[in-house]
Structure 1
C-alpha cells in the first residue's frame, strides 16, 4: 500500500493542516517542539503541491498577526515563527515563492514587544530566508 501521496489528497490535507495549526493558539512550551516537527513533516510530505504550501503558510501566518479582532498571544507567535523557520530549513526552495506574503510579517515581528519573538525572527526565520535568497532581507524590510 503506497502512502507517498496520502497527504496530497485535499480532504486529508485540509483536515490535518487545520487541526495542527489550530493547536498553535493554546500551545504549551513542553509540546511546542513536537507540534513544530509535525507541521514540518506535513510540509515536507506535501511540498510538491503549491496549493498545499500556500494553505499551510497562510494557516501558520494567521497565528502571527492580528486578524480582525483576534490578537495572537506571545507563545502562539513564537511557536508559529519556530514552525516556519523549521519548514523553510527543510523545504525552503519549495516555499520561496511565498516569501512576499511573509516579509511584512517579519518586519512586524521584528518590532514585537516580546524579546523572545524578536530574537527568534532575527536569528531564525530572517536568517534562513537570507540563506535561501542569497541576500539580505534589509532592502525588503525597509
Structure 2
C-alpha cells in the first residue's frame, strides 16, 4: 500500500482540496490554525505536481478576492493569507512559479479595510515572498 502518492491521484486531491478550502469561508478562529496545518500538509504531500500546486493556490486565492458579487469576509481573507504564508514557508521553491498570480492580490490586500488582514499580508506573506525571491516585492506591487 503506497501512501506517498495517495493525494497525487486527481480524484482524491480534488475532493480533499475543495473540501478543505471551502472551510475558509466560515472558519472559526479557534480551529483556523488546524485548517492551515491541513492545507499545508496537503501542499507538502503534493508539491511535486505543478497541476496540484496551481489548483490549490487558485482555490485558496478564491477566498481572498471578490469573485462576481461574492466578497470574502475579513476572517476568510485572514485565514487564506495565513494558509498561503505557511505553505510558502514549507514548499516555497515549488510554488514560486505561482507568484505572478498572487502579486495583484497581495497589493489589493495590503490596502484591505481589516487591519489583521493587512498585517498578516505585510508581515507574513509578503515577507516570506521576499525571502524566497531574495528581493523586495515593492517593484512588483507598484
Instruction: Determine if the TM-score, normalized by the shorter chain, exceeds 0.5.
Output: yes
Q: Does 1:21 align with 2:53?
A: no
What TM-score does the superposition give when structure 1 sets the normalisation length? 1.00
Q: Secondary structure at the match of 1:63?
A: coil
Measured against aligned partners, the alpha-carbon deviations of 1:19-78 in whole angstroms (never above 9, x if no partner) come to: 000000000000000000000000000000000000000000000000001100000000
Partners of 2:51 and 2:113 in 1: how far apart? 33
Residue matched to 2:123: 123
Deviation at 1:139, TM superposition (A): 0.1
- Deviations for 1:106-130, whole angstroms, at most 9, x for unmatched residues? 0000000000000000000000000
Q: In 1, Cα distance between the equivalents of 2:83 and 2:102?
A: 13
Q: Which residue of 2 aligns with 1:67?
A: 67
Gaps of 5+ in 2: none
Q: Residue 111 of structure 2 aligns to a residue in which SS?
A: coil
TM-score computed with the length of structure 2 as normaliser: 1.00
Deviation at 1:2, TM superposition (A): 1.6
Partner SS for 1:64: coil
Compute the displacement of 1:10 (Å).
0.1
How far residue 15 of structure 1 moved from its aligned partner, in angstroms, is 0.1
Aligned-pair CA distance for 1:133: 0.1
- Matches of 1:55 and 1:69, distance apart in 2: 22
Mark the runs of 5 or more structure 1 residues left unpaired by the alignment.
none
Q: List per-residue Cα deviations over 1:70-99 (Å, max 9, x = no partner).
A: 100000000000000000000000000000
Which stretches of structure 1, 4 residues or more, deviate above 2 A after TM superposition? none
CA RMSD of aligned residues (A): 0.3
